[in-house]
Amino acid sequence: MNDLLKKCTKSITGNQFYSDFLGEALYLGETMHSIQRIDYNSHEALLELEINENKHIQNEYILHPSLINGIVECTIVLIKENEFMENAVYMPFALEKLTILNTIPNRCYAYLRYENDKKGDYLFNIDILNSNGDIIAIFSQLWIRVMPMQKYKRITNKSQNNQEEIKLMLKRLVLGEIDVDRVANYIGGLLDET
């Protein structure tokens, strides 16, 4: 991991990311805030993650949703380094393959590589690492799509039901039970209400 850190020219703490960098983005609550630190350059990032939830709930998952969320949020850092679209939402819409090689601990790291982009779509390959730097999971070809929103406002903490519904939809999206258009339409409807 030290070799990866040497390539990174910028860094941001989790608190800075959630308050300043993510700013007006989708708010999913404190339990989904897994980013502790991001070290990055224009095409790669080393992300430190930790689950922010009690141990009983953590053990219910092979790959905790807040870790997935932190990884997806980190892709925004690399996209913004290369090209940033105002009034847009960044949504995961395809994952070629997820390989789990070992138990994923509550505290882990992710090495993200921004591989390629085509208009509005961004490709990432991601390795999940334990504290020894061993690869324990692989996200192969995670595509992020930029979805323009005419009226983009922050979804506030006003409705716990909306937050829970969004968390459930993101989980179902990752599991392949629903498609990105359904999630985008739901979120778009919430944004129009604000």
Mean pLDDT per 10-residue interval, the chain, length 194 residues: 85 87 62 91 94 66 89 87 71 90 94 80 94 96 79 47 73 78 69 50
Domain CATH for 143: 3.10.129.120
pLDDT at residue number 156: 45
Residue 15 counted as domain residue = yes
Handedness of CA 117, 122, 125, 128 (dihedral sign): positive
Q: What is the edge-to-edge ordering of all strands in the sheet holding 88-100?
A: 10-13, 35-40, 44-50, 107-118, 121-129, 135-148, 88-100
Residue 27 counted as domain residue = yes
CB atoms within 10 A of CB 105: 15
Residue 185 counted as domain residue = no
Residue 67 counted as domain residue = yes
Number of domains in the chain: 1
Residue 188 counted as domain residue = no
pLDDT at residue number 107: 93
Contact 88, 152 (CB under 8 A): yes
Range of the domain at 33: 2-148
pLDDT at residue number 141: 94
Token pair in block for residue 17: 């990311």
Residue 163 counted as domain residue = no
> What's the pTM value of the predicted model, to 2 decimals?
0.73
pLDDT at residue number 92: 86
Please, where are the H alpha helices in the chain? 2-7, 14-16, 55-58, 65-82, 160-174, 180-193
Report the C-alpha gap between 175 and 183 in whole angstroms.
13
Residue 92 counted as domain residue = yes
